[in-house]
Structure 1
Amino acid sequence: MGKPAKSAFDAQAFLAKVGEGKNILQFKKGQNVFMQGDRADTVFYIQKGRIKLTVLSDQGKEAAVGILGPGQFFGEGCLNGQKQRIATTTAIENCVITAITKTAMIATLHDQPQFSEMFMAYLLTRNRRIEEDLIDQLFNSSERRLARLLLLLANFGKEGGPQPINPTIGQETLADMIGTTRSRVSFFMNKFRKLGLIDYNGHIEVHNSLLSAVLHEKPQLKQDA
């Protein structure tokens, strides 16, 4: 009899279980996963919950630069020679996170082509998002940037359809992420609600009409002064 066929590597099962160089961690809302300046030697994968990325300038000003959710990695800069964390990551809701040491991550990427492909696809998608964010900041009004951010946070275009945006993502965080003031965000949110583009009662519910307004450059999303 021949040898039994080797079972295919299951990337999701690998990320969901404890193993060599790999632990499953739980963080409560408000807890930091790591701080800016900490030693960078671990990659993290979000199983459940959302993480906020913030950076602190030399002048002491803090700004939110990203929100990450289930299925996303963070801290992968250590794979490219990053010695210290360049941002602080904080749970904005209860989270379940897989922590993978740099050594274990490199070994898995080398030995498991399916995992390597999945991770590469993630990096390419993230890099495309960064490019789109840069274009958004350069050429679009803050109103359109807010509309696009709400669509991204509501998971428009992803499997499972749009989801309500957790109220823990406040207007100050939204303002940081699109480069405007909290008062402007409040003004735009009220405008979107009056136009029927969103419902805003605790959770933010984003409607298809907001997507149409962004894609087809509806007059309600004019350049702001």
Structure 2
Amino acid sequence: MNVEKFAKQIHKQIESLCATHNNTTEITQEMLPLALTNLGILSEELQITLDDLQRQNQELIATQTALELQIQRYQELFEFATDGYILTDKSGKIEEANRTAAKLLNVPQRFLIGKPFLMFVAEKDRQALYSKLMQPQPVKEIIEWTVNLCPRNSEPLRVSLIIAIATDSEGKKSQMQVCIRRNQASQAPPLVEPIEEKACDATRDRRKFVYLKGELIPLTPQTIWQVHQGIVKLSTLSETGEEVVVGLAGPGMPFGVELTALHTYQATALSQVELLCYSFSELAASPLLAANVLPRINQRLQQTEALLAIFGQRRVKDRFEQLLQLLKQEIGQPTPQGTRLSVRFTHQELAEACSTTRVTITRLLGKLQEQGKIAIDANNHIILKEQSLFDRLPEKDVYTV
């Protein structure tokens, strides 16, 4: 029974009884049995309706339980499928990936989320695949494409991609569903043409290890990392458990446990980085490798001394100004607006580098922006103006710890 219709019937019956009562001074003996009969009928109908609602509620609960079990079953099928499966948004950024896809790409599942899928496709195949995906596609068309896949820190793979493009109610592309099927019958060709080793560059054809932003880089004895691309933060822990930045390794700079005396030492990728790895035995056996790596150690020592000088400043304002100048020198990129820091730093990371609080850094950045000495671009990168960067702030704006 329709609940709303039934409620209206009850309301109508009650109004009728009330109207009868208002029009008479007393309820006659003839009216009482009729009123009781009507109320009894309404009571029975109400009980029937309640029974129907309870039955429908139980059916809904059973249906919901069945749907949840079905969703779980399909999720398990997706997660443990033998082929790699990836779901992306309309721009190609990964929203979900199963275990096989993570294994093929050699990246933990949680680090795949938000990354462009095309970054794992070999550069020579990337443009052709991108052009194909950007073309208007008929509804429910399946795209099959064979490419070289570039897993992180592993040999390239020849794979077949089966891509289904989903559309929204307006017919616009809303999502891409990608199946990655490894091609067992063929080996992946090299991603670049063979290059003869030159004396001036002994590292050009070495294997590069890739780490994504925020990942910790493993440090092992008797090995040295060298940054090929990106920025690595080197840090230790103070006695109070706070992180202390002891270095920023940019392109060409080496780092490793063999180059420090600190007991607690870790390396974190501040951006996506490409690294080269050397063992001490390799460096000893190859003068070309040694000539490439050893002079960079001097650059790291100079940077360490600069950081020590920064930490020696009593005022936070002075430490922060000198840190920005050091970052400008190490990772600055010239732009028409000024020198842009190539890495996006959070206020907390800058605070850790200056041994202060995030709130203090936020206030200092705001003051420098007001004075027009720095700017923040659309991607939250700091731009240092080319004019005299840091005039002295008024004494009331000096923060100390």
Aligning the two structures, in what range does the TM-score lie when normalised by the shorter sequence?
0.7 to 0.9
TM-score, structure 1 normalization: 0.73
2:268 pairs with 1:78:
no
Equivalent position of 2:280 in the other structure: 102
Q: Distance in 2 between matches of 1:155 and 1:122?
A: 15
Between 1:148-157 and 1:42-51, the stretch displaced more is 148-157
Unmatched tracts of structure 2, length 5 or more: 1-196
Q: CA deviation at 1:118?
A: 5.1
Aligned partners of 2:259 and 2:353: how far apart in 1?
Answer: 26
Residue of structure 1 equivalent to 2:41: none
Q: Which moved more, 1:97-106 or 1:134-143?
A: 134-143
Q: Identity over aligned residues, as a percent?
A: 20
Task: Note the C-alpha offset of 1:120.
Answer: 4.3
Q: 1:220 aligns with which of 390, 393, 397?
A: 393
Change in CA separation of 1:138 and 1:70 when aligned onto 2, cut-off 3 Å: same
Q: CA RMSD in A?
A: 3.1
- Displacement of 1:103: 1.4
| 1:137 equivalent among 311, 322, 329 | 311
Q: From the superposition, tell whether residues 85 and 96 of structure 1 become closer, same or farther in structure 2 (CA, over 3 Å).
A: farther
Q: How many residues align?
A: 197
Residue type of the alignment partner of 1:104: E
Native 8 Å contact 1:153 1:165 kept in 2: no
**Superposed counterparts of 1:27-176, under 5 Å:** 27-34=211-218, 39-57=220-238, 60-75=241-256, 77-78=257-258, 86-108=264-286, 111-112=287-288, 116=290, 119-139=293-313, 141-155=315-329, 162-167=339-344, 169-176=345-352
Higher gyration radius (CA): 2
Amino acid at match of 1:74: F
**Alpha-carbon distance in structure 2 between the residues aligned to 1:79 and 1:149:** 23
Is the CA contact 1:144–1:221 (under 8 Å) kept in the aligned structure 2?
Answer: no
Equivalent residue, structure 2, for 1:16? 204
Task: Tell me whether 122-131 or 25-34 shows the greater mean CA deviation.
Answer: 122-131
Q: How is 1:169-184 mapped onto 2 (pairs within 5 angstroms)? A: 169-184=345-360
- How far residue 175 of structure 1 moved from its aligned partner, in angstroms, is 0.7
- Choose between structure 1 and 2 for higher RCO, CA contacts under 8 A separated by at least 6 residues: 1
**In the TM superposition, what is the alpha-carbon distance from 1:85 to its structure 2 partner?**
6.8
Structure 1: give runs of 5+ residues left out of the alignment. Answer: 1-6
How far did residue 153 of structure 1 move?
2.1
TM, length-normalised to structure 2:
0.43
